[in-house]
Amino acid sequence: MAHFDKRALIAEGLAAGDDDAALHARLAAAGVSAGAAKYEIDRLARDPMAAMLRRQAARIAKQGWLFANQERLAREADGGFALDTIEAPDPDAFYRLHYDINRPARLIGLIDHWPALTRWSLDHFADVAGDAVVEAQVGRERDPDYELAKDDHRRSVRFGELIDWLRADAASNDVYLTAYNSGANAAALAPLWQDMAPIALLDSRDGDGFFWLGPRGTLTPWHHDLTNNLLVQVMGRKRVRMAPPWAFARMRNSSHCFSDWGNDPLPAGDGDAGVPPILETIIGPGEAIFLPVGWWHQVEAMDLSASMSFTSFRRPNMHVEDYRSYGRL
């Protein structure tokens, strides 16, 4: 075995928290002779990089212990590990019992006062903004990394053409107008904001919110957001699956905020040593879900779907400002 391979194997063991005996066993299992393994391990006592790797492994182990305790507390809570459903949520109670403690919730009766609930349809969209040019995500199905490569899928289309395509009601994940396109679409879709009204939980501002429109079958793969989010359903239904931040090791996070689980429909339940615990719900017209920062989630449209998402809570919600992990992890 080459010298580089031995050192890489040692680095892998140090990062995993191996002591000298475990490192020796790791090298022996790879075919390194006893003498060569002892020589490499003896060198570690004088290697500051090895010392730092061991300290870092100890810190990660401590974080793992803290996550494990958070899991125990979540499972031992009244009602166990479950998703709360709240009707006509009181803002003070919502912030105290959910926002402030990073706990998701399904919310009912939040937008009963919105004209959009009765107005929004493909015909309405065509009437108020059909001639506008909008930006959407296009060609997603041929790219397994479509969510990571969102910029590559930005296309300008006439809103009426997109609406005509949606009228076929065919299942697809190929075309989706998402929150990522909102900056480009703010002026074009401004008439739709007249169909909305302030939400009691939010610090509402003019033009606030992000518009989503797509066919049944659109999938947002497993990821976590860098802010707290409120997803409000106006047309159709969406299935939302969630996994808690303390399941980080089982979420297979190897790049930015995305999970290697991708679009896998992880089953609702307690999970196990390799699969994270999953909460699952379906939100329909007039319903919403609070997605706290750091909670993993996957969203699937079960019907032709129009949604709004919001980040303008009564708290700073500025968690992205110190986020640095945009690359490989």
Residues 113, 261: one domain?
A: yes
pTM: 0.93
Q: Which CATH number is 308's domain given?
A: 2.60.120.650
pLDDT, tens only, 111-134: 999 999 999 999 999 999 999 999
The answer to whether position 327 is within a domain reads no
Q: Give the pair of three-digit tokens for residue 70.
A: 């958070």
Counting the structural domains of the chain, the total is: 2
Judgement on whether residues 102 and 242 belong to the same structural domain of the protein: yes
CB 198 within 8 A of CB 204: yes
Q: Are residues 144 and 283 in the same domain?
A: yes
pLDDT band at 1 (very low <50, low <70, confident <90, very high): very low
Specify which residues 287 forms β-bridges with: 108
Average the pLDDT over 74-93 and give the result.
94
Q: How far apart are CA 89 and CA 86, in angstroms?
A: 6
Reduced to 3 states (helix: H, G, I; strand: E, B; else coil), residue 99 is helix
How far, rounded to the nearest angstrom, does the alpha carbon of residue 227 sit from its chain's CA centroid?
A: 10
**In which domain, by residue range, is 95 found?**
81-322
Q: Name the one residue in this structure whose structure tokens are 């699956």.
A: 241
Backbone angles phi, psi at 282, to 5 degrees: -120, 130
pLDDT of residue 204: 80
Q: What is the pLDDT of residues 179-216, one digit of tens each?
A: 999 999 999 999 999 999 999 999 987 779 999 999 99
Q: Does any domain span residue 89? A: yes
